[in-house]
Structure 1
Amino acid sequence: MATGTRSATQATQPSQPAQPAPPNFSVLNQYAKDLDPSSHEGAKLLREMTRARTSDDDRLVVTLDTAKEVQDHFMDEGDKFAWGQLVSAIPISYSVDAAGAITTTLGSIFHDELSLKNIQLQASMIFGNNTVPTDQAQIDTLTVPNTLIARQLTDNTDADQCRIYYQRIRAISIADNIQNTVDKDTLELLKQSESQYVWTTPSGERMRDGPTMLFVLLEAINPSTKVRTLALQSKIDTARVSDHGGDISNLLTHMESIRILSERKGAKIANYELRLFDSLLRDDRP
């Protein structure tokens, strides 16, 4: 038989089963699809993605000492619930080459040095009126609005608005996940920073951007903030009434503002009441 031909017997032999293709995790992960909360399946998946801890004891305690545990937890949640590009591919900067092509540098909330502005600019393209820049002029004018006003979506057949709608659903689900996971003290601190991540539509609907909320949370317990927190505590330990014109009320307001700022950075000031009392007596000491 000449080389390159097949016998009839060979031709009728069953072929070997094809090797399975490498798994596509975006397909295997049921949470990665566009989720419509008005559908039975979408509502079910969103409930699973945002399920609340059953008791205060089960909630995640967020402090500088638990920083790694907290970050690892939300990294796992992000992988499980397909938070995807909203937390791992955030635009950090744009550059334009001689031909006008734009290159975008991306970063992860968990692994890269990002600023609050980076996260808010991404949110402004999902909730606000900003769009992905297409030229240098748009890059130069890309800013975070002083007041986070959300764009009202009105056309459910427009491809761009549909994309934004599903991005909003996922971003809000991240916020709900955080809200239903962390301890009550952390929720109070997050509430004090709402102006950084809550977008409001002209009709008054309030929407929380989860990636920004996550950034605020992780930044508060970033180990690099420990030095700054100790510096704040030092201010309390050296405060005295005479530094505030002898006005006790001004001193107390100053002390309280330091306490709140320290807690926003994820560290409570130990024995705050005793330190407060001590500051009232400091001028009487030699």
Structure 2
Amino acid sequence: MAFIILIISKLSKSYTNTIAFKIEKINVPDEKVILNNSDSILNITLNTHGFKWLDYYFKSPKITIDFSEDVTLGHSKFIWTKANTRLFSNTEFTKQVKIINIYPDSLFFNFDVNSVKKIPVKLRENISFSPGFDSFDGFTITPDSIKIIGPKHVIDTIGHIETEAVILKGVKTDIHETIKLDLPIKNDNIRFSSKSVDLSASVERFTEGVMKIPITIVNVPKELKIKYFPKEVTITFYTSLDHFKMVKPMDFKIICDYNMLNTESSFFIAELVKTSKYVKSVKINNQHIEFIIL
């Protein structure tokens, strides 16, 4: 009991000491970004009783600076001075707290004007489908780009934003996922219009089809005649069951270009230059076309 009485007696007395207050910035204009002073402090010498000092030591003391009232606008910087009397009536201090001194007597907050830049979102995925299933239109990201707001010299270094990794195995139904963006390390100077995107894909049953397509020889000099074999090649295409019957031979065009020959060539290389909008992929089964010049 004597010890408790002693402690209470000590804490009831007034003491003078200096303590570091962190700066909390509020009401910063949207078009301005504070570039530094994220760790600014005010060293304030106070006189108050011991109980109040306990609050300061056990809690991180802060001073709120209202940029709509407490600062003046200079050339590329905001200026706060201790002459601002709002500080002395601030809610951080009660009548039991006497302010003896404030150091430094001025704070400077350099700022930059916000720039806005639209950057694409790139999907980072490892998605595989069950056999016989696929997505014809592929993956859709909504939105496919976001706005980044911040100092020009900062956002100019950011060319795109990736999503967090999406891993899906054995997919056989439509995909609808909300994916977080892999944003850069937290930076109070920059903001993003979105922190996530929606990923979607229509998943269908797929099949393979086979067709024979005639070959066209192009860029042959007028004085030459060329015979070639075979006259047509077989292609294998990959499409959804719904699109299978819509795929026609006339949708494809395969050529052999005479200009692509060199003096040692004994065959053409067949090239697919036109394909059906209803197929996802096409493969020419035999690209070597033999020829003779008459």
TM-score range, shorter chain: under 0.3
Structure scoring higher RCO (CA < 8 A, sep ≥ 6) equals 1
The normalised TM-score by structure 2 is 0.22
Please tell me whether Structure 1 or Structure 2 has the larger radius of gyration of its CA atoms.
2
The normalised TM-score by structure 1 is 0.22
